[in-house]
Amino acid sequence: MTARAETLPIEIVPTGFALGAEIRGIDVRRKLSAEVGEALREAWKQHLVLLFRGQTGLNDEELIAFTRVFGPLQDAPNSEVTAGFGSFSDVPPEVTIISNIEVDGKQIGALGAGEADWHTDMSFIDEPPAGSCLYAIEIPPAGGNTSFTNMHRALDTLEEETVSAVKDARCVHDESLTSTGAQRQGVPPVTDVRETPGARHPVLRTHPDTGRKALFLGRRRNAWLIDFDVEESERLLDRLWTHAADESHVWEHRWREGDIVLWDNRAVMHRREPFAPTTRRLMHRTQVAGGRPY
Which of 109/293 has CB closer to ligand SIN? 109
Query: Would you list the DSSP string of 87-110?
Result: SSS---TTEEEEE--EETTEESSE
Q: Which is nearer to ligand SIN, 26 or 111 (CB)?
A: 111
| Strand pairing report for 110-111 and 95-99 | parallel
List Cβ neighbours of 230 (8 Å cut-off, separation of 6 or more): 193, 194, 224
**HSE-CB of 108 using CA atoms within 13 angstroms:** 16
* Contact positions vs ligand SIN (CB under 6 A): 98, 111, 116, 121, 132, 134, 146, 179, 270, 272, 283, 285
Helix/strand/coil for 76: coil
Q: What is the closest distance, in whole angstroms, from the C-beta atom of residue 137 to ligand SIN in the complex?
A: 12
Nearer CB in complex with ligand SIN: 148/228 = 148
**Which of 48, 60, 84 has its CA nearest to residue 212?**
48
- Which CB sits closer to ligand SIN, 170 or 266? 266
Length of the chain: 294
Least distance to ligand SIN from the beta carbon of 179, Å?
Answer: 6
Task: Answer yes or no: are the C-beta atoms of 64 and 76 closer than 8 Å.
Answer: no
Q: How far is the CB of 283 from ligand SIN (least distance, A)?
A: 6
As a whole number of angstroms, the distance between CA 216 and CA 33 comes to: 34
Beta-bridge partner residues of 23: 12
Nearer to ligand SIN, 178 or 196 (CB): 178
CB of 266 to ligand SIN, least distance (A): 15
In the complex, the smallest distance separating the C-beta of residue 109 from ligand SIN, rounded to whole angstroms, is 9
- Indicate the residue among 123 and 233 with the shorter CB distance to ligand SIN: 123
Closest distance to ligand SIN from the beta carbon of 10 (Å): 24
CB of 147 to ligand SIN, least distance (A): 9
Taking CA 240 as the corner, what is the angle to CA 208 and CA 270, rounded to the nearest 5 degrees? 60
3-state SS of 171-218 is EECCCCECCCCCECCCCCCCCCHHHCCCCEEECEEECCCCCCEEECCC
Query: Min. distance of Cβ 116 from ligand SIN in angstroms?
Result: 5
Contact 290, 127 (CB under 8 A): yes
Q: Which is nearer to ligand SIN, 100 or 233 (CB)?
A: 100
User: Which CB sits closer to ligand SIN, 188 or 277?
Assistant: 277
